Amino acid sequence: MALFAEIGLSVAFTLISLAPMAPDLFRGAPPGPQTRINVMTGLPRLSEQQQHNRGQAYSELSYGGCAPDISLFNANGDRVGYYRNIGCDTDKEGEHIDQNDIRDLRADFLKKGNTEKAEYMTVSASGIDAICISAVAVSFPNAGDTYAFLPGEVAAICKDHDPKKYDYHWSESEATVQFSNPKTQTSTVARPKCLWLDKPDRQGAKATHYQGFQVHLIDFKLDNSTWAAWEEDPTHMCDSLARFGGYDTLNVMMCPQVFSPAPKAGERLPLKEISACLPSAIPADDGKVYSDPCDDKRLTQQDRYNVLSAYKYQCPKTHEYDWYWDCPPNKKNGCGKPREPMKPIISLKDKRRASIPSRDGFPSADHPLQKRFAGMLVKSQDISQSAVRVCKSEGSVGPDFFSEHEQMFCEMNTRTLYPACTTELRTGCFDSFHNETRHHDVHRRGENMAYLDVQDWL
């Protein structure tokens, strides 16, 4: 509590503001011309029984999964570098983040010898197993600047700020990070929330709306006066895609929104933003999102070929893409004539979102993420975690949750809050000793389920 009092911000904004200085998130600058990105996922602790079959337990409960794809862009939106997790849709290939550990991902620069510092970053799911990301930290070669971002904390604030506008899903996590006040060295260990991302399977289904997000890194390394203003009015943190935003469709080749002209870090909205390159993460004039350069006729065939080559992608081997396979890689403008104007193609299908089960705006019991936590109870002593917040936020998914410091319990399937039972309060409360809810209605007293997994987060 002392740290939060010193900083003078709420728990969430304290963690967000101190993340760039959290040593737990960094492993030093990369040795060569690469950008190091450290990605941390949330992870529930395994019970004694689950420890005997970790593989199955992690596949069922883990917040981890395929390491995400990363793309980096400079202040003008030019492509700088990327990390691509190739082949992670199968268990035997690609990079996986399976445990509560920071995974080093190395982003190679697109131009040999370049060591340019990026300002914008996109993070997108590379596999069809949903992943919940707690923290992303970035270290540049030959530069002392480091940046860190807590997507779950920011997404939770934005979801509560405008539930209808934002479709973020987040969870409380047991993944711990030590945060310190650089002026006083006062420190505390806290558990940042994590943000869920997922890539659609072959049928187009995914567990959460967003496949990825973008962040303007320099906007999350600010002084406390800016954080205080954003806490008072989260509009300035949430209502700009260029600053932070989620996308239903996003991959490593797609371009983010950028501010134009470039403002000072943390400047208040509104600010002008543009798509600086193609294919863009936002819909084209015809309403479609072109995630594959092979089909984006806003680009010349040569430009499409160049983007695909840079990110090591190829077009399908069909007659429709003969221009790609006939393109000589060593010649400029050798991929046929520039595009001719195309009539807009309006596709209502592309504008629809997959339906994700909900109940009164909250994820329902059969939501693909919420189902992971059936029969699970967490009892947390962490003062940065709140059962009240978990219960009231339309974006939260996770196990039933009891907060020791609040003495409150959230039953997630019904989003019902119960106070802890006491000698004076014997019904309509949660018995934290027997891990059961005591109901007023005598007919409901037999409804209490026996939890299959009870975790104590100390």
- Domain-located, residue 286: no
CA distance 199 to 64: 14
Distance (Å, whole) CA 239 – CA 169: 17
- Give the residue ranges of DSSP H helices in 321-380: 322-325, 348-351
Distance CA 417, CA 415 (A): 7
At residue 90, does pLDDT exceed 90?
no
Check residue 396 and report its DSSP letter: B
Res 349 pLDDT > 50: no
Q: What percent of the chain has pLDDT over 70?
A: 84
Long-range contacts of 355-364 (CB under 8 A, 24+ apart): 356/207, 356/208, 356/209, 359/415, 360/415, 361/163, 361/394, 362/394, 362/415, 363/169, 363/394, 363/396, 363/397, 364/413
Q: How far apart are CA 111 and CA 92, in angstroms?
A: 31
Question: Torsion over CA of 16, 20, 22 and 28, rounded to 10 degrees?
Answer: 150
Q: Would residue 281 count as lying in a domain?
A: no
Question: Is the separation of the CB atoms in 301 and 269 below 8 Å?
Answer: no
Structural domain boundaries enclosing 125: 2-275
Q: Do 406 and 347 have their domain in common?
A: no
| Pairing of the two strands 273-275 and 146-149 | unpaired
239 pLDDT more than 90: yes
Q: What is the pLDDT of residue 45?
A: 54
Res 340: pLDDT:
40
Query: Is residue 302 a contact partner of residue 327, using CB atoms and an 8 Å limit?
Result: yes
- Name the DSSP class of 160: H
**DSSP codes joined into one string, 165-234:** T----EE-----EEEE-TTT--EEEE---EEEE----TTS--SSS-SEEEEEGGGGS--HHHHHHHHH-T
Residue 284, domain member (yes or no): no
- Residues 32, 105, single domain; the answer is yes
Q: What residues have CB less than 8 Å from 225, skipping those under 6 apart?
A: none
pLDDT for the residue 93 = 76
Q: Is 287 among the domain residues?
A: no
Domain end residue (candidates: 351, 372, 389)? 351
Across the range 435-457, mean pLDDT stands at 76
* Average pLDDT score, the chain: 86
Q: Are residues 116 and 262 in the same domain?
A: yes
11-25, 301-315, 345-359: least confident range:
345-359
| Alpha carbons within 13 A on the beta-carbon side of 345 | 12
Together in a domain, 114 and 249: yes
What tokens does 337 get? 């004539």
Q: Which amino acid is at 336?
A: G
Mean pLDDT to the nearest integer, 13-34: 84
Question: Is residue 282 situated within a structural domain?
Answer: no
Structural domain includes residue 288: no
Domain end point (choices 228, 245, 275): 275
pLDDT band at 47 (very low <50, low <70, confident <90, very high): low
Q: What is the mean pLDDT of residues 130-136?
A: 92
Which tokens belong to 279? 């294919």
Quote the number of domains for the chain.
3
User: What is the SS3 assignment for 319-334?
Assistant: HHHHHHHCCCCCCCCC
What does the pLDDT read at residue 141? 84
Give the single-character DSSP code of 411: E
Is 127's pLDDT higher than 70?
yes
Residue appearing with tokens 């101190």: 18
Summarised one tens digit per residue, pLDDT across range 314-347 is 999 999 999 898 887 665 556 754 444 333 333 3
Together in a domain, 240 and 315: no
Predicted confidence band of residue 41 (pLDDT cuts 50, 70, 90): confident
Asked whether residue 283 is domain-assigned, the answer is: no
| 217 and 323 housed in the same domain | no
Are 322 and 198 members of one domain?
Answer: no
Six token digits for residue 452? 């299959």
Question: Is 73:121 a contact under the CB 8 Å cutoff?
Answer: yes
Looking at the fold, whether 304 and 263 belong to one and the same domain comes out as no
Start-to-end Cα distance in the chain = 15
Q: Are strands 65-66 and 170-171 parallel, antiparallel or unpaired?
A: unpaired
Residues 315 and 417 in one domain: no
Same domain flag for 160 and 96: yes
Final residue of a structural domain among 310, 328, 351 = 351
Judge if 113 and 226 occupy the same domain.
yes
pLDDT per residue as tens digits for the range 200-223: 988 888 999 999 999 999 999 988
Q: Is there a single domain that holds both residue 258 and residue 400?
A: no
**Tens-digit pLDDT profile for residues 242-300:** 999 999 999 999 999 999 999 999 999 999 999 989 999 999 999 999 999 999 999 99
Determine, yes or no, domain membership for 242: yes
